[in-house]
Structure 1
Amino acid sequence: MKHQLKHLAGLTAVTTLLPLLMGVHMLRYRVDRARRAARDGDRGAISIELALAIIALVAVAGGVVVALTKLADNVTKKIPEDK
């Protein structure tokens, strides 16, 4: 039984971290393209790639802020008020 619970916990952790892993791979891809463009001397591509990477990071940060705000609102509603 313990083995099955460990396996289930591992699968749950992997499923939870999958979007984060996708974001890491996308960021690595963008950084690699920017490095190749810098090496080849294509300055315009570097600017565009870095702008896209910054936009993606700001979007992720905004998503985290929205998620934390919703979580805080849900928890605040569940706490009883002291009078």
Structure 2
Amino acid sequence: MVALRNLLTALFLPVKLCLFVFHHRVGRVRAARAAGDRGAISIELALAVIVLVGIAVAVLAVVMRLANTVKGKVPTDPVVTAAP
């Protein structure tokens, strides 16, 4: 059960990070709206979204590269048979 909990924690950690960042940004937007400073927060939010999309693309590229590497190795790996 502990292994399953650790696995789920590791899988959902990026989701929790995104939720934290989103919650932080929403709080800043609310504070800026209350203060009347709308232009600067819009630019800051747009830049944050661009950075998050860039990170997502980088992670996707790494995963695709790893998948292609593993896919290329699968047919060339020797088949291990049991000793008689």
**Do they superpose with TM above 0.5?**
yes
For residue 43 of structure 1, the aligned residue among 31, 38, 59 is 38
Match of 1:3 in 2: none
Unaligned runs of 5+ in 2: 77-84
For residue 52 of structure 2, the aligned residue among 42, 49, 57 is 57
Question: What TM-score do you get using the length of structure 2 for normalisation?
Answer: 0.66
Which residues of 2 match residues 1-83 of structure 1 at below 5 A? Answer: 6-80=1-75
**Over residues 49-72 of structure 1, what are the superposed CA-to-partner deviations in whole Å (9 max), with x where a residue is unaligned?**
212321232123213321332233
Structure 1 position 14, deviation (Å): 0.5
Which is higher, the Rg of structure 1 or of structure 2?
Answer: 2
Aligned Cα RMSD in Å?
2.2
Tell whether the 8 Å contact from 1:27 to 1:53 is kept in structure 2 after alignment.
Answer: no
Size of the aligned set, in residue pairs, is 76
Unaligned runs of 5+ in 1: 1-5
Tell whether the 8 Å contact from 1:34 to 1:45 is kept in structure 2 after alignment.
Answer: no
More contact order relative to length (CA 8 Å, sep ≥ 6) = 1
Identity of aligned residues (%): 39
Question: What TM-score do you get using the length of structure 1 for normalisation?
Answer: 0.66
Structure 1 position 79, deviation (Å): 4.0
The structure in which a higher percent of residues are helix is: 1
Structure-1 separation of matches of 2:46 and 2:67: 31
